Chain A
Amino acid sequence: MKRFSPVAISGVGCLTALGHDLDQCMEAMFRGERNCGPPTRLSNPVSLDYPVFEVSPDFSSAQDREGSSGVRSVQLALTAVEEALRDARLSGPELQNRRVGICLGATVTGSLKHEGIPEAQGANKPEYLTPEQRFLLTSPVLGIANQYRASGPLQTIVTACSAGSDAIGLAAQWIQSGMCDLVLTGGVEELYEITYNGFVSLMNCDTRPCRPFDASRNGLNLGEGAGLLVLESEQALGQRGGRAKAFVWGYGNSSDAYHLTSPSPEGQGLRGAILEALEVSGVGPERIGFINAHGTGTLDNDALEASMFREIFPETPFFSTKGYTGHTLAAAGGIEAAFTVSCLERHHLPPSGGFSTPDPELPASPIQSSLKVRADFALSQTLAFGGINSVLVLGGEKEA
Chain B
Amino acid sequence: MRAAVLGLGAVGGFGCGVGDLENAVQNSIPSTRLVDMETIHGVLEVPGVTASVSPLEHKIAKRFLRRSTRFMQLAILGSLLALEDTGEQDGALEGRTGIILGTGYGATCNTLNFQALSPRDESSNISPTSFSHSVDNVAAASIAALLEKNTPNITINHFDMSVPLAFMTALSWLQSGRVDNVLVGCVDEFSKISAYHQSTFKGDGSGAQQCGIGVGEGSVFFVLAPEKGSEISYGHIREARTCAWSASAPEPENDCVYFWDHGFQASNTETLLRDSLGHAPSASYLGLYGYLPVGLGFALAIAALSRKNDWVYPSVEERGGHWGLQGHEPLDGRRIRCLRPGLAGEWGTVLLEP
Contacts and interface: CB of A to CB of B under 8 A. Distances in A.
Given A44-B124, A153-B242, A158 B156 contact: yes
Given A112-B108, A154-B161, A177-B172, A197 B343 contact: no
Contact of A197 (B109, B126, B244): B126
Nearest to B158: A156
A99 B132 CA distance: 37
A157 B161 CA distance: 12
B136 A158 contact: yes
Contacts of A179: 241
Interface string A115-132: 000000000011100111
A111 B108 contact: yes
Contacts of B141: 255, 260, 385-388
B109 A159 contact: no
Contact of B116 (A46, A126, A151, A255): A126
A139 B155 CA distance: 16
Contacts of B266: none
A158 B193 contact: no
A125 to B, nearest CB: 7
Given A125-B116, A153-B242, A166 B161 contact: no
Contacts of A388: 137, 141, 153
Interface stretch (A142-150, A289-297, A337-345): A142-150
B121 to A, nearest CB: 8
A217 interface: no
B165 A160 contact: no
Interface string A155-168: 11111100000100
Contacts of B193: 127, 130-131
B128 A255 contact: no
Contact of A160 (B136, B145, B147, B246): B136
A257 B144 contact: yes
B106 A158 contact: yes
Interface in B146-186: 147-159, 161, 165, 168-169, 172, 175-178
A268 interface: yes
A202 B99 contact: no
Nearest to B246: A151
Given A46-B124, A112-B106, A201-B128, A255 B241 contact: no
A158 B136 CA distance: 6
A111 B110 CA distance: 10
Contacts of A280: 176, 178
Interface in B245-262: 246-248
B135 to A, nearest CB: 5
B302 interface: no
Q: Which of B117, B154, B168 has the most CB of A within 10 A?
A: B154
B116 A112 contact: no
A280 B106 CA distance: 31
A276 interface: yes
A126 B154 CA distance: 30
Nearest to A201: B128
Q: Which of A111, A132, A173, A203 has the most CB of B within 10 A?
A: A111
B25 interface: no
B113 interface: yes
A256 B145 CA distance: 8
A149 B293 CA distance: 23
A298 interface: no
B131 A198 contact: yes
A213 B172 CA distance: 37
A215 interface: no
B53 to A, nearest CB: 19
B23 to A, nearest CB: 31
Given A151-B244, A173-B176, A198 B154 contact: no
A257 B150 CA distance: 6
B58 to A, nearest CB: 23
Contacts of A261: 128, 132
B95 to A, nearest CB: 12
B137 A160 contact: yes
A193 interface: yes
Nearest to A198: B131
A110 B116 contact: no
A184 interface: no
B178 A1 contact: yes
A153 B241 contact: yes
Interface in A367-393: 384-388
A155 to B, nearest CB: 5
A131 B191 contact: yes
Contacts of B293: 131
Nearest to A199: B131
Given A46-B125, A139-B344, A154-B344, 6 more contacts: A44-B123, A125-B116, A135-B159, A155-B158, A255-B152, A261-B128
18 contacts: A110-B159, A114-B116, A131-B113, A159-B136, A159-B137, A193-B124, A198-B132, A201-B126, A201-B131, A255-B99, A255-B140, A255-B150, A256-B150, A272-B150, A276-B152, A280-B178, A386-B140, A387-B145
Interface of A: 1-2, 44-46, 99, 107, 110-112, 114, 125-127, 130-132, 135-136, 139, 141-142, 145, 149-160, 166, 170, 173, 177, 179, 193-194, 197-199, 201-203, 253-261, 268-269, 272, 276, 280, 384-388
Closest 7 CB pairs of A and B: A386-B141, A198-B131, A151-B247, A158-B136, A255-B144, A255-B153, A127-B116
